[in-house]
Amino acid sequence: MENNHRLSVAEKLGFGMGDAACGIVYSSVTMFLTWFYTDIYGLSAAAVGVMFLVTRILDAITDPLTGIVADRVKTRWGHFRPWLIWFAIPYAVLAVMTFTTPEFGASGKLIYAYITYTLLMLCYTFINIPYCALGGVITRDEKDRLSAQAYRFTISSLAGLLVSVATLFLVDWLGKENKQFGFQATMAIMGVIAVAMLAFCFFSTRERVQPAIDTQSSIREDLRFLLANDQWRIVAVITFFSSMAGVMRSAATLYYATYLMMGGVNSAAGTAMKSAFVSTSVVGTIIGSIVAGYLAKRYRAVSLFKNINLLLVAVGVIMFFVPPTWLPVVFPLYFLVGFFHQMYQPFKWNMMANSADYGEWKFGRRSTGLIYSGNLFALKMGMAVAGAVVGFSLGLFGYQAGVAEQTPLATTGIISLLTLGPSLSYLLLWWLARFYKLDDKTMETIQRDLAARQQAHAMEPESVPVAASAPSKA
């Protein structure tokens, strides 16, 4: 295998398309689903919060199981790429079903929401875990791998911009006065685009990295190695709080733009304002992804990660004290939130690939799919907790869907969910980074040792592999 293969621009673009396909639906869920459920579908904010938490229980089983199965699946296309094709169409269909409002009673609609949202997230798991694992096996070259992640988040941010700009206008145009049908038709368009992107990713990428020593172990041993991987544990917690910050902010954005900025609930200016405000952050994410690729070549990744999170804390706190009607100030601040949040994403996802290399180096067993499935479980738990926090908080603050003006308590609550809540998560991310030890120098040592092991094993194919122990300082 071409473990140190240098990726072409076309390969990096193809890799990025896979995340864009996931992001079209993921962005729709994080940006619009909470608001859709409360203001269009007709659920209470508290019911939505409970649903987001309860439906994540299944992930405790399906996420690690998907990673374990993906590690063991062997096809001529590799371990992970085939999943992109197998589940592309079900993914698109379930996206439409989730944003469909059935003609049921209150209980029936709640049950339907539970079923469709759970199945959508399950299908997301079947695509996203193998896709994320693919990022760890396209090359062993860490700088090139980080560059591919920068391409990935730039392209997925462009997909997010498409969602943020087009969704509400498509809902109005396709649905006219029927916003329920508008959301359904809009998601059908997004689903078709997602299928095309997943196909492009499948045909333009290759899996090149294989374990230095190919060993077979039981599922129990795989899980034991995963939990013993101290660097994976740190990255999983980082993933949880990063997801919480992004989803909490995204879920609160439409409430902030609808009720606290100018335009009114039902006016055309309101639709334009909401789209413009959401898009401002997404434009920031695109530029942030591009800048991340530039900075990664010149500065230490761990230091960048820590400093970016401190900047996010500062921007969130400042924005809390700025009145929502101060548009010339609010828009630039929200742009900076998107800019800095997306800037550290390539570093975070490269941490996952590094933890897979570290696990192979320390235990002599590579479980790329399981590593990423564990992190995706942490990500979705962050999504669930953030969604629940938003739902419960809105109910606690006395939020009422569709009213012309919210109470002062509800107004303060919405602003806090958009600013202070995410800032707390970013502060925790800055603190957690001190426990992450896989800096550039350590990774150079790990990659050199793994290459030496693979070369030695190739020369002695009959030898019995023995798991290596990492030096205590690592």
Residue 267: what pLDDT? 59
Confidence of residue 458 (pLDDT cuts 50, 70, 90): low
Residue 71: what pLDDT? 82
Confidence of residue 153 (pLDDT cuts 50, 70, 90): confident
Residue 468: what pLDDT? 45
For residue 299, pLDDT over 80 is answered with no
Residue 1: what pLDDT? 43
If DSSP states are collapsed to H, E and C, what string results for the chain? CCCCCCCCHHHHHHHHHHHHHHHHHHHHHHHHHHHHHHHHHCCCHHHHHHHHHHCCCCHHHHHHHHHHHHHHCCECCECCCHHHHHCHHHHHHHHHHHCCCCCCCHHHHHHHHHHHHHHHHHHHHHHHHHHHHHCCCCCCCHHHHHHHHHHHHHHHHHHHHHHHHHHHHHHHHHHCCCHHHHHHHHHHHHHHHHHHHHHHHHHHCCCCCCCCCCCCCCHHHHHHHHHHCHHHHHHHHHHHHHHHHHHHHHHHHHHHHHHCCCCCCCCHHHHHHHHHHHHHHHHHHHHHHHHHHHHHCCCCHHHHHHHHHHHHHHHHHHHHCCCCCCHHHHHHHHHHHHHHHHHCHHHHHHHHHHHHHHHHHHHCCCCHHHHHHHHHHHHHHHHHHHHHHHHHHHHHHCCCCCCCCCCHHHHHHHHHHHCHHHHHHHHHHHHHHHHCCCCHHHHHHHHHHHHHHHHHHHHCCCCCCCCCCCCCCC
Residue 14: what pLDDT? 87
Who wins on pLDDT, 329 or 2?
Answer: 329
Q: Which domains are present in the chain?
A: 9-459 (1.20.1250.20)
pLDDT digits (tens, 9 = 90+) for 212-268: 555 566 777 777 888 888 999 999 999 999 999 998 998 888 888 888 886 555 555
Percent of the chain with pLDDT over 90: 29
For residue 4, pLDDT over 60 is answered with no
pLDDT digits (tens, 9 = 90+) for 105-152: 889 999 999 999 999 989 988 998 899 888 878 877 767 777 788 888
Residue 292: what pLDDT? 79
For residue 415, pLDDT over 80 is answered with yes
